[in-house]
Structure 1
Amino acid sequence: MSDALKIERDAPAQAMPAANSDSAFDIARIRADFPILSREVYGKPLVYLDNGASAQKPRQVLEAMDEIYRRHYSNVHRGVHKLSQEATDAFEAARDKVARFLGAPSSEEIVFARGATEAINLIANSWAQQNLTAGDEIVLTVLEHHANIVPWQLLRDRIGIEIKVVPLEADGSFDMAAFEALLTPRTKLVAVAHISNVLGTLLPVREIVAKAHAVGAKVLLDGCQAVPHMPVEVGKLGCDFYVFSSHKLYGPTGIGVLWAPYDTLLGMAPYQGGGEMIDRVTFEETTYKEPPHRFEAGTPAIVEAVGLGAAIDYLEAIGLDAVAAHEESLLRYATERLTAIDGVTLYGTAREKSAIVSFNVEGAHAHDVGTILDRSGVAVRAGHHCAQPLMDYLDVPATARASFGLYNTRNEVDALAAAVEKVKDFF
């Protein structure tokens, strides 16, 4: 598959329609909210294009977390004193915000985890462990993040399930015909990224869900790359599980979300045991709280949950439709600029894609590209992006990846292109 998903400079990629310009988006006000964007790197203004790995945090998130630590901090749920009640109220208010953000019917369907990785492991070790047996099948795609591959391999090794993998079309889009051919009555779970963290491909998840449900399979969507960039309503998607991490959503690290219907959660055994998730404990047996608390053993990420809630407030105030339009404009412009540079190869040209551009420069390893760009103040990710099977599929050891966020500008795209031009001077 060495030629798959490549785009040379004479064949520009297509982005989703309805782009917007910086002038229609109050970018100056937004950038002023992010303190780190004012710093310099090696004497150059910071151009932060590593949002796919982790996004920067606005002052509104930083201040909300600082306020909890300074004035309201205590452990939650178990205290009768005022600080504990205030911290509990703030923590559960964050859960309410997540439910609203995802269009979930109830906050009782929102489980806080350490991140999307733990959320997927929770599903694998609770729901899948209970409901799958030897010979059952899980369907993934070749573009999955390791977090949506390794837990299923561990489960396979324990109970003998089979893992099937959907290939991609030449432009990096989802191969629907191949997917349909893989579905059988033994298919119990389809677990796919909503948006690829490497190619930016937006998968046709509603159609995937419909076809999976037709054979009786459940569907898990990894929404890490989707929720910062577009509105997500789990009811409209029709999926059975949805996960995402806070730190890509302009919130803090150390917290993520699992959504599933309440009845599904109610039928799942706890993933971890300890305080907070129990109803009653004796040395003979333990009974557990109702969802979501039965899945949140131990002291939770209290302040981080508040930060996540503040990040959701921030995004909703701007409007995710406006964010999506702004980022689509950046994607189109970045694609034009990079495809105009001799020796640059872009990977992934699906028409429906998010603002992620993975590329290589002829004669240069991606790590060298990333290092040279860094000296120009341009921060990109270089490596396999926790998607080694996809790198094997592309027949490359690594790529450089520029991933855009709501605070990025066309001037920063110009800085990226100028820095990429400099790479050729070294090779």
Structure 2
Amino acid sequence: MTTALHAGLDRRLPALLDLYRDLHAHPELSHQEFRTARIVAAQLREQGWTVTEGVGGTGVVGVLTTGPGPVVLLRADMDALPVREGTGLPYASQRTATDAAGREVPVMHACGHDVHVACLLGATAQLAAHQHAWHGTVLAVFQPAEEVCGAPAMVADGFAERFPRPDICLAQHVAPAPAGLVATRPGTFMGASDSLAVRLHGRGGHGSTPQATVDPVVMAAATVMRLQTVVAREVAADRTAVVTVGSLHAGTRENVIPDTADLTVNLRSATPGTRAHLLDAVERIVRAEAAASAAPKDPEISVITAFPMTVNDAEATAVVQDAFRSALGPDRVIDLDQPLTGSEDFGAFGTALDAPTVYWTFGGLDPAAFTGADLLTEGIPPQIPHNHSPLFAPVPEPTIELGVQYLLTAATPWLTHPADGSAGTEAPH
């Protein structure tokens, strides 16, 4: 990649790598990204961007205009996870924080959002340094709380009224794949994710007299097992669906039958019909198991988060894929044949702002770890730490440099087209 926008990136890399290691060592939970936001805002101002802080909580938006032309939105997420780091890296996180429930938890950038912040700040620095090489407006959006669906908070904070409407929204995510590979697809790129909290009500009592109780632990166990049949027996084999019971809490002692049991359930789906079926099935099974156990009170089911499907605009995705293939070579650009089961809230920007979106993932791990693996037919080997693992550790080099280049390469078709249309074609839209 040797376009004008990439010139001088090699000289910027040492500072970007230091920034990445600092962000990794100082992760912050969703809606608590105060330090990260301050660093982002300070660097954007130093680069010459117009900066707005506190958008949707801790969000930061930078705006830079070089003249008439398309408006391109580039987004990075900033939040970390309540995970205890196990990488053993010299810059590993040692932080703890108080979560939204008031619990003291470890904190780690186990999903790679620190990579995203560093890459976007590298891209904004290049755009500011080479304003002669592009025209239009760039919105650099540093979003809080992606892990709990924070994009709608930025939208609800008057985003459409406070900033120019984008002609294209672009974002990326580091993945447990070899550094140097990029993957995307038109249409549904990532599935929907729905997380539910379930409280089952029983009637507590002594462990020696279970006949006088309604045991919510047994009720919960039956519910967990029955939920496993939803995908196995209710969803067609050619449809993507996942049902996960991520937590189950009940009781305080071995000889006390408790009054309640609490579960959290996560659902993944890739079509609206499958999503609706999963939600209906969970409610049906939870209520039926409670009735079968003669529960004294109906179960309580509430929504924790609801991420929509991430849908890539077909025309805009083709433009980005062509740019990647031209810059990287076709062997490094993967066209996925089916949606990923992960989820994202990035699509909230495109939906609210009536703009096409393109989202891609890029490898961030040492290619040597994948020797002998057939990624196209067998996927990522199970021994490779995935996002959200305490062992997930992107290699800073060359991941950061490549991530900057990907953002610039994807944005280039919009930012380098003549503003007056004199090239004989319209700018991508």
TM-score category, normalised to shorter length: under 0.3
Structure showing greater radius of gyration is: 2
> Which structure: greater helix fraction?
1
Q: Which has the higher contact order (CA 8 A, sep 6+)?
A: 1
TM-score by length of 1: 0.25
> Which structure: greater strand fraction?
2
TM-score by length of 2: 0.25
